[in-house]
Structure 1
Amino acid sequence: MIWKIAVLFLVLLIVVGAYLFVSYRQAIGEAERAWSSIEQGALPGDRIFDPNMVQGLPETARRYFIHAIAPGTPLKTTVELEMRGTFLLGDRAKFQTYEMEARQILAPPDQFVWIQSLRSGPMHITGSDALFDGEAWTRFWINSLIPVANNPSSPDLVRSAQFRSAVEGVWAPAALLPGEDIVWSQPGENLARVTITSGAAPVVLDLKLNEAGAVTEVVGQRWSNANAESIFQLQPFGGTVESEATFDGYTIPAILKVGNHFGTDEYLPFFQAEIVSARYR
């Protein structure tokens, strides 16, 4: 009798494991399909950058664009990134450190797919974050089997992801050029503020610049539930840039640390990344 129970238990484990693995592969497939759609929908860079394009902007915004985009660079608003670094899971009081490798396609301010691999000893977490076709998700698994985050799309998650896509626009500067839904202002001597109104709610970002126009700090109010109450609310999000690099005529932040509650005692720079490559489409 005992051996029958053991066999049934083993069969059950195999069935559950197979189901979880198939679910994982389906979710990764959905992320890959979203990636391909964003890639195929990239607008051709028919125009090239001329500093005269930004002459009517506030001084700090002009400084930013003239530093970020070389004259004659095709204006491409989609970028494929490869990155590595450190990812901290948890909060300021308690967190686990993981080595991170990830790739991302980004089309600010309303589309991205981030596919990551996080390792800490025997622990291996893979999955994706995305904002695509008006929907958002966060899906992480341990060793391709155990879901540790499986957040389906919701208005709150979409609004949070729209902030992420906007703040990561510093990796695709041409996407931040002024337009109907993108307005620049200057709240301070070395601050450039961009307001993006294309999403569910306006996103306002402040870029702190050095004299050359390089971004040294970025901060805004993100709609997030990364707090003790796990309640979605506006709260500070941002970080610092340690160095930059140039790819295909675009000079972008290359080593940076960002996180929730920037500028407060609760700040944890959970995302510490180095951009290894950037390919503009």
Structure 2
Amino acid sequence: MMTKQLSLDALWESAISKDRPFCSNERSHLPEAARRYLEHAIAPGTAIASAVRLQMHGEIKLKSWIPFKAEQVICWEHGLIWSATAWMNGLPILGSDRLVDGAGAMQWKLLGIFPVMVASGSDITRSGVGRLQAESVWLPSVFCNDNVSWTRMDSSHLHSSFVVQGERAELDFTIDKTGRLKTIKLPRWGNPEGAEFHYVDFGGIVESEGTFYGYTIPTHLRIGWYFGTERFESEGEFFRATIDNAIYR
């Protein structure tokens, strides 16, 4: 088992490449909406990836919106690491959010020296699993796994259920007639009110997409708590990200 201090590079190198290509004929048993999503997200013949490495920039809301640049690795077998630099009042805050082999942690330091936020424990881990579930849309190949079940709500609404890091994910997708992802929603463990942790509706709006190495993924998203209610716009949204590059293995 890996330690939670694993680096981005080490997590990326831990990914096991799969030689199996994506074939839409193997998805003929799925609901039509699920096939439409997968066939839009993964080009025919694309290798089924177990990891993605992302470069991104955007804004994160603390007391106000502040800019960030980040690099992230999602390795489906082990978890994720998001390593970023944000700027508050012109000063850099460096750190990472991580979930590796069932252990979640956050560590952020002003100028890379003075601690700003350090957190770990069961609540942080469970919340991190929710983040991994939501960000599975950047690694669409995971939806090709046999343990993923699909339910078609109607032609534009789709439900996906699977287990990752010991927690069951219940994801609701909205897609258009081409299979393009428009929104994602799930119950995520968190405490956006600052009190006790509990499950809260969480999700995001996909404003644009791009294709990298055969994978078509969201490239501009608005993400936050209370998704699906008026509170999302007024107080829940806290993360706006633009994907600059993605590589797969």
Which category of TM-score, normalised to the shorter sequence, fits these structures? over 0.9
* Equivalent position of 1:88 in the other structure: 61
User: 2:107, 2:229 → 1: CA distance?
Assistant: 28
| Partner residue of 2:23 out of 50, 54, 62 | 50
1:201 maps onto 2:167 in alignment: yes
* Equivalent position of 1:264 in the other structure: 229
1:159 maps onto 2:126 in alignment: yes
Task: Kindly provide the amino acid, as one letter, of the partner of residue 127 in structure 2.
Answer: S
**Cα separation, partners in 2 of 1:132 and 1:31, compared to 1, 3 Å:** closer
* Equivalent position of 2:38 in the other structure: 65
Deviations 1:14-64 (A, max 9, x none): xxxxxxxxxxxxxxxx87734233222212131001111211111111110
How far off its partner does 1:87 sit?
Answer: 1.0
1:137 maps onto 2:105 in alignment: yes
* Equivalent position of 1:78 in the other structure: 51
* Equivalent position of 1:253 in the other structure: 218
**Bigger Rg, which one:** 1
Task: Kindly provide the amino acid, as one letter, of the partner of residue 122 in structure 1.
Answer: G
Q: Which moved more, 1:106-115 or 1:51-60?
A: 106-115
1:279 maps onto 2:247 in alignment: yes
* Equivalent position of 1:5 in the other structure: none
Q: How many matched pairs? A: 244
How far off its partner does 1:198 sit?
Answer: 3.4
CA-based RMSD of the aligned residues comes to 1.7
**3-state SS in 2 of match to 1:33:** coil
**Cα separation, partners in 2 of 1:234 and 1:110, compared to 1, 3 Å:** farther
How far off its partner does 1:135 sit?
Answer: 0.6
**3-state SS in 1 of match to 2:6:** helix
Q: Which moved more, 1:264-273 or 1:167-176?
A: 264-273
User: 1:183, 1:173 → 2: CA distance?
Assistant: 14
Q: Is the 8 A contact 2:101 2:165 kept in 1?
A: no
**3-state SS in 2 of match to 1:75:** coil
Greater strand content: 2
How far off its partner does 1:231 sit?
Answer: 1.0
* Equivalent position of 1:24 in the other structure: none
User: 2:239, 2:65 → 1: CA distance?
Assistant: 10
* Equivalent position of 2:158 in the other structure: 192
Tell me, which stretches of 5 or more residues in structure 1 are unaligned? 1-29, 90-94
**3-state SS in 2 of match to 1:266:** helix
User: 1:31, 1:142 → 2: CA distance?
Assistant: 21
TM-score (norm 1): 0.82
**Could you tell me the percent identity over the aligned residues?**
32
User: 1:201, 1:255 → 2: CA distance?
Assistant: 27
How far off its partner does 1:110 sit?
Answer: 5.2
TM-score (norm 2): 0.92
Q: Is the 8 A contact 1:136 1:158 kept in 2?
A: yes
Greater helix content: 1
Task: Kindly provide the amino acid, as one letter, of the partner of residue 73 in structure 1.
Answer: T
**Cα separation, partners in 2 of 1:241 and 1:109, compared to 1, 3 Å:** farther
Tell me, which stretches of 5 or more residues in structure 2 are unaligned? none
**3-state SS in 1 of match to 2:127:** helix
**3-state SS in 1 of match to 2:124:** helix
* Equivalent position of 1:235 in the other structure: 200
Q: Is the 8 A contact 2:4 2:101 kept in 1?
A: no
